[in-house]
Structures are given as C-alpha cells and as structure tokens.
C-alpha cells in the first residue's frame, strides 16, 4: 500500500520556517516526509541513511540534527538511532480507532522507552486519548531493549571485515600491519559504527596511498590510527589536488 506524508500549505508561512536557511528548510521537510517516518513521529533513522538520501555529508547531518535539537523540534537517540519529531503529535493527530491502533503498534516497536514516555506525556498535554494498557513501559521492557541493542552491536562487530581492510592497506601501501591489534580494531570499529563500510575504507586507503606512498616524510602516516582516525571522513571526501610545499597540511 502506498504511503504518504502531507505537509500543510501554511508550512511555508510559519514564523519558525520563515527564519530557517534553505538548507534547514530542506532538512526539516526531509525529517517529516522521508520513507522511515511513522504515524507517532518516532522512527529509526541511521545517519548513514540521512547522508545517502539528502546528499549531505556526516558533518552537515550532525550539525543539522544538533541545530534542530536546540530549536526544540527533534530529539535524536544515538544508541538506537531513533529520532522523535517533538511536535508531530500536536499537528498530525487523527482521532480514529484505526490510527490509534496503528500508533500503539508503532510505540511497541520503539526501542528507546524515553521517547514512548514523552509521547504519552504529550498526548495527555494536548488532551488526546490513547489507551496505554497494552504498551509495556516498565523496567522489563527497558532491559529487553538494552539487550537487543547490545546484541545488534555485537553482531555488527562480527561482521566488520577487519582482515580485509588491513590486508588491502598492507597490499596498497607495502606495510605489515596486523588486523588483530586492539588499537587497529578500535579505529576501524569506530568508523564502522558511524556507518562507513568496506568501500569507504578502500577509497581512503587508495587516496592517501597515492598521495603519501612516495613521500619519504608522509609515508610513515599510512597507518591505521591515522587513516581511520577522526579525519577519516575528510580523507574520504578529499578531492585530488596538486601536491603543496607543506606535506603536513592534510594531516592536521
């Protein structure tokens, strides 16, 4: 069945929206109309998906999320990758048994119970009636969610291709790093948890190997802690450019 999200024509005359930048308006519309949205206004939306669908890089996505949290429009829960549009209930409530039944089912699948509690609080605040008897809001459900999140994280770690990444680095850069080293695995895992995947690692390795391998000063930095550190996304999006007089300008 087709799924639609409606935006009221007065959206463009809203005082808050009028003060937004074009970039913010686009992102705000995206949060209200993307394919992951739900009837309750709480849904899972990994940042990697936001990047792919909006065309923004991770830095811009993080900046916009933080900005809209400061505006009091959304809340983002990093561990479960769930977002809540805080005023969704106020402007999108439909008082029908079919819709309230759908909302209850959605709430039962929300992992972060803090969002469920907040949703119910807002329903009471706006005078909306919703039966919460069938929704588990207790400690048992909280423990279950935490266990599910932890299991997901453990499963993700099992699927990280540590060996393939390091083998590719060694082959490209002529190194002999081990994929079993804790420091190396920590760097790779950190980037993997941010949503980067094997092709991204290979691209960074290719980019920096081409740039640094024949440079006697920079070749020493073709190592996991440098390539897969905090500047990883910058390296990934780096444009090929002529070598400068200062070989360290891309390192720090």
Distance CA 187, CA 227 (A): 9
Residue 9's pLDDT band (cuts 50, 70, 90):
confident
Nearest residue to 202 (alpha-carbon basis) of 178, 154, 169: 169
Residue 246's pLDDT band (cuts 50, 70, 90):
low
Residue 133's pLDDT band (cuts 50, 70, 90):
very low
Distance CA 154, CA 88 (A): 33
Nearest residue to 225 (alpha-carbon basis) of 183, 162, 181, 182: 183
Residue 249 near residue 235 (C-beta atoms within 8 A):
no
* pLDDT tens-place string over residues 98-117: 777 888 888 888 999 889 88
Lowest mean pLDDT among 172-181, 193-202, 220-229: 193-202
Question: Helices (DSSP H) in 21-76: which residue ranges?
Answer: 22-33, 47-54, 58-70
Residue 1's pLDDT band (cuts 50, 70, 90):
very low
Q: What is the mean pLDDT of residues 37-64?
A: 94
Distance CA 193, CA 188 (A): 9
Distance CA 106, CA 233 (A): 34
What whole-number percentage of the chain has pLDDT above 90? 55
Return mean pLDDT, the chain. Answer: 85
Helix axis angle, 182-193 relative to 139-158, nearest 10°? 120
Distance CA 111, CA 92 (A): 22
Measured at the CA of 64, the angle between CA 202 and CA 235, to 5 degrees, comes to 20
Q: What is the mean pLDDT of residues 240-252?
A: 58
């Amino acid at each position: 069945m087709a799924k639609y999200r409606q935006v009221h024509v007065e959206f463009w005359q809203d005082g808050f929206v009028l003060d937004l930048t074009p970039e913010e308006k686009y992102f705000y519309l995206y949060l209200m109309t993307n394919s992951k949205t739900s009837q309750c206004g709480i849904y899972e939306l990994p940042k990697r998906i936001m990047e792919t669908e909006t065309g923004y890089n991770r830095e811009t996505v993080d900046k916009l999320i933080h900005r809209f949290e400061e505006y009091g429009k959304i809340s983002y829960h990093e561990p479960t990758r769930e977002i809540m549009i805080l005023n969704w209930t106020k402007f999108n409530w439909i008082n029908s048994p079919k819709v309230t039944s759908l909302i209850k089912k959605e709430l039962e699948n929300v992992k972060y119970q803090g969002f469920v509690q907040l949703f119910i609080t807002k329903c009471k605040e706006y005078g909306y009636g919703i039966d919460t008897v069938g929704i588990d809001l207790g400690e048992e459900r909280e423990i279950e969610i935490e266990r599910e999140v932890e299991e997901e994280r453990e499963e993700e770690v099992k699927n990280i291709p540590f060996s393939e990444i390091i083998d590719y680095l060694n082959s490209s850069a002529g190194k002999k790093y081990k994929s079993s080293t804790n420091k190396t695995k920590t760097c790779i895992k950190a980037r993997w948890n941010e949503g980067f995947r094997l092709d991204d690692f290979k691209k960074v390795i290719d980019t920096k190997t081409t740039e640094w391998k024949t440079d006697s000063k920079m070749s020493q930095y073709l190592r996991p802690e440098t390539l897969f550190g905090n500047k990883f996304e910058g390296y990934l999006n780096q444009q090929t450019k002529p070598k400068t007089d200062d070989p360290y300008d891309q390192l720090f």
